[in-house]
């Protein structure tokens, strides 16, 4: 079966889920708020249309990313409860997540990067940039960048239109999901609001408690013209998640945790655009509260983080051979915590990039000068090239990235009187640095596209948790002499090599029938200089195969998606947990259209396999649900 699956990968392509994943040559991307044609970037980029959300058997944004080429999602729980995002082996805070070009990554921990406070109805598209992008987008863009573009901020649409979307579904284990959205455009305003909810009692966990989740997102945005060249927009959202977090972070039998994470996100944008020149100012405020109760007799960890950001970007297109941008960024991160203590960190950067078009050759150069309270001043350069020859685009590049430890890696359990076991932070961590190199190409026909990329990343002082005892931890006055811990430390070097293959076939077979097949394969190998293996960095899949098939015949739509993953075996005897060498997960969805409505049936985990992405965090077995959706234009 694996051989058959791999043959599908080689003979299918990437043009897009019936245009829900856009073809490379006709799409402009939002490159740090400037617009650049995708085939001139020199990077491997996938663009996912927001419309795909309702076509697949998925229930959250991290579910959608799970089946996107080149992205590995390590889920601890279903329906957006929690997930780590991995691109090219980079995880935790090594993947930079943006909403409309501004940073979303939370100061508390990289585990919260998957909490994206925007409803699916408001998403215009998602841009995935694989590989280093620190010069353009900022620190933490080590493995890649995920940029979520909202409908309202995507561009000002002068056309008069309204759109209403709504849907509801229910299923086994007390499942009840609902979403609603309203979008309006005219010459005076772009406006959208949305609500999204996932609730379930959940399946039985190791401790015989239910793996429940109650996750809701409410978001809205407005963009208005002040005159012919000035625009102002504001976006605000509230994201609320409560879920069973048993063995999310530990492999102890006493771990029966519950967790609540609330996020308030605000973005004010002011933009002036005239004669191929634009100036934009962004103000961002994000507040996150986290309540984590390890078990009923423990004292809960209570954390509050605040992220405040201001940035200015000037961009210019000469309409000849040169396009360029430059900008300034100021950022402050704070945390108030009963177990990590109270801390803050300031960050500033100046940056610039330029694209030089020379016939079929495109030269992309970028440079960022950063100053961080944690690690001082660093220079982050990047260079990418692309060359178009007939139907083939050749591309390659190199870049430097940097990442500082988040507040959990630096101070977890630092402020407690006594810690018997668990993860211990390290305030002496230095920032990790990496150099990345890649080369690849894209071959495009009318109905078929094939992409291949090879890459190499050398990382020094990489931050991760390792198993440690009392004597291995420098600051141990609040630890148990016989305790066993996971200690955050800098690993000397980690070298990662990999190959990405992405393919797509999209064809209208007849008047009433069309088919799209999307498939990808990623092969990774990471080697570390430390004799003691770390936990998160080396937990990525060594082989990842992703596949989606969409069929549309008259009023019937069918989708089938699957993941095959191979990784290193891990086990924890205390909780009878094991991450086997491999698993193959399959989902399907059937829909029937009636005027502006669809009724549907979804089946997740068709094979009812028992699997986990992170050791001890078991994911649900087979799960049946059904419902209906309405789209009115």
CATH of the domain at 268: 2.40.170.20
Q: Which of 19-33, 101-115, 370-384 has the lowest mean pLDDT?
A: 19-33
First-residue to last-residue Cα distance in the chain: 43
Res. 35: pLDDT tops 60: no
Residue 187: predicted pLDDT: 86
pLDDT tens string 369-386: 999 999 999 999 999 999
Phi, psi of 26 (to 5 degrees): -110, 10
Provide the pLDDT confidence category of residue 13 given band limits of 50, 70 and 90: very low
Q: Closest by alpha carbon to 377, among 353, 398, 404, 397? A: 404
Res. 537: pLDDT tops 70: yes
The whole-angstrom separation of Cα 77 and Cα 379 is 38
Residue 544: predicted pLDDT: 97
The whole-angstrom separation of Cα 291 and Cα 303 is 7
SS3 539: helix
Burial 233-272 (b: 16+ CB within 10 A, else e): bbbbbbbbbbbbbbbbbbbbeebbbbbbbbbbbebebbbe
Res. 25: pLDDT tops 60: no
Res. 19: pLDDT tops 50: no
Q: Which of 17-31, 298-312, 522-536 has the lowest mean pLDDT?
A: 17-31
Average pLDDT estimate for 238-253: 94
Average pLDDT estimate for 12-35: 43
Q: Closest by alpha carbon to 382, among 366, 401, 403? A: 366
Report the run of H or E that residue 394 belongs to, with start and end. strand 392-403
The whole-angstrom separation of Cα 162 and Cα 151 is 12
- How many independent structural domains does the chain possess? 1
Residue 425: predicted pLDDT: 94
| Token representation of residue 467 | 């198993």
Average pLDDT estimate for 567-596: 92
Q: Closest by alpha carbon to 393, among 358, 440, 455? A: 440
Percentage, residues of the chain above pLDDT 90: 73
Stronger pLDDT, 570 or 624, i.e. the higher one = 624
Listed in sequence order, the residues at least 6 apart from 405 whose beta carbon sits closer than 8 Å to its beta carbon are 374, 426, 429, 431, 463, 488
pTM over 0.85: yes
| Helix segments in 317-364, DSSP class H | none
Residue 2: predicted pLDDT: 44
Res. 595: pLDDT tops 90: no
Average pLDDT estimate for 170-182: 95
Pair 323, 314: CB distance under 8 Å: no
Q: Mean of the per-residue pLDDT values for the chain? A: 89
Residue 130: predicted pLDDT: 94
pLDDT tens string 401-413: 999 999 999 999 9
Domain range enclosing 350: 2-632
The whole-angstrom separation of Cα 345 and Cα 429 is 14
């Amino acid at each position: 079966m694996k051989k058959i699956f791999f043959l599908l990968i080689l003979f299918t392509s990437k043009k897009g889920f019936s245009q829900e994943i856009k073809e490379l040559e006709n799409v402009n991307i939002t490159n740090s708020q400037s617009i650049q044609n995708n085939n001139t970037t020199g990077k491997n980029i996938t663009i996912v249309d927001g419309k795909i959300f309702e076509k697949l058997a998925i229930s959250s944004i991290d579910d959608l990313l799970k089946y996107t080429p080149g992205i590995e999602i390590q889920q601890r729980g279903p329906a957006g409860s929690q997930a780590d995002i991995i691109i090219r082996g980079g995880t935790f805070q090594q993947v930079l997540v943006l909403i409309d070009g501004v940073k979303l990554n939370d100061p508390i921990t990289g585990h919260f990067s998957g909490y994206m406070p925007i409803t699916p109805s408001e998403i215009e598209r998602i841009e995935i940039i694989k590989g280093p992008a620190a010069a353009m987008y900022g620190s933490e863009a080590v493995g890649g960048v995920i940029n979520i573009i909202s409908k309202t901020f995507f561009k000002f649409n002068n056309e008069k239109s309204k759109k209403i979307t709504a849907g509801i579904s229910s299923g086994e284990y007390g499942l009840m999901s609902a979403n609603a959205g309203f979008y309006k455009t005219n010459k005076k305003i772009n406006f959208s609001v949305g609500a999204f909810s996932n609730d379930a009692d959940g399946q039985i966990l190791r401790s015989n408690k239910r793996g429940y989740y109650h996750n809701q997102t409410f978001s809205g945005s407005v963009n208005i013209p002040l005159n012919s060249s000035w625009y102002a927009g504001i976006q605000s959202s509230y994201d609320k998640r409560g879920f069973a977090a048993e063995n999310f972070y530990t492999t102890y039998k006493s771990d029966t945790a519950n967790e609540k994470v609330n996020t308030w996100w605000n973005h004010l944008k002011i933009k002036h655009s005239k004669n191929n020149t634009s100036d934009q100012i962004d103000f961002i405020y994000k507040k996150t509260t986290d309540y984590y109760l390890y078990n009923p007799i423990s004292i809960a960890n209570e954390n509050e983080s605040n992220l405040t950001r201001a940035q200015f970007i000037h961009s210019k297109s000469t309409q000849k051979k040169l396009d360029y941008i430059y900008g300034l960024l100021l950022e402050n991160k704070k945390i108030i915590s009963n177990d990590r203590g109270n801390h803050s960190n300031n960050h500033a950067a100046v940056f610039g990039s330029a694209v030089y078009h020379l016939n079929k050759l495109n030269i992309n150069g970028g440079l960022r000068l950063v100053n961080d309270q944690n690690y001082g001043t660093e220079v982050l350069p990047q260079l990418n090239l692309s060359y178009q020859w007939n139907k083939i685009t050749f591309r390659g590049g190199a870049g430097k990235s940097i990442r500082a430890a988040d507040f959990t890696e630096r101070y977890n359990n630092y402020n407690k009187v006594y810690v018997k076991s668990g993860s211990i932070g390290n305030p002496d961590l230095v920032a990790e640095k990496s150099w990345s190199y890649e080369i690849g190409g894209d071959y495009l026909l009318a109905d078929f596209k094939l992409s291949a990329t090879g890459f190499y990343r050398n990382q020094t002082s990489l931050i991760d948790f390792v198993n440690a005892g009392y004597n291995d931890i420098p600051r141990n006055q609040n630890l148990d002499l016989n305790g066993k811990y996971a200690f955050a430390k800098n690993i000397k070097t980690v070298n990662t090599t990999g190959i990405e293959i992405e393919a797509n076939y999209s064809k209208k077979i007849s008047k009433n029938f069309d088919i799209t097949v999307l498939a990808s394969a990623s092969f990774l190998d990471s080697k570390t200089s430390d004799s003691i293996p770390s936990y998160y960095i080396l937990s990525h899949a060594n082989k990842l195969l992703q596949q989606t098939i969409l069929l549309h015949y008259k009023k019937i739509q069918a989708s089938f998606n699957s993941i095959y993953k191979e990784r290193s075996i891990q086990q924890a005897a205390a909780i009878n947990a094991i991450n086997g060498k491999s698993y193959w997960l399959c989902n399907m969805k059937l829909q029937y259209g009636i005027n502006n409505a669809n009724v549907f049936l979804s089946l997740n985990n068709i094979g009812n396999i028992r699997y986990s992405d992170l050791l001890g965090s078991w994911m649900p077995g087979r799960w049946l649900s059904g419902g209906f959706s309405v789209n009115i234009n």
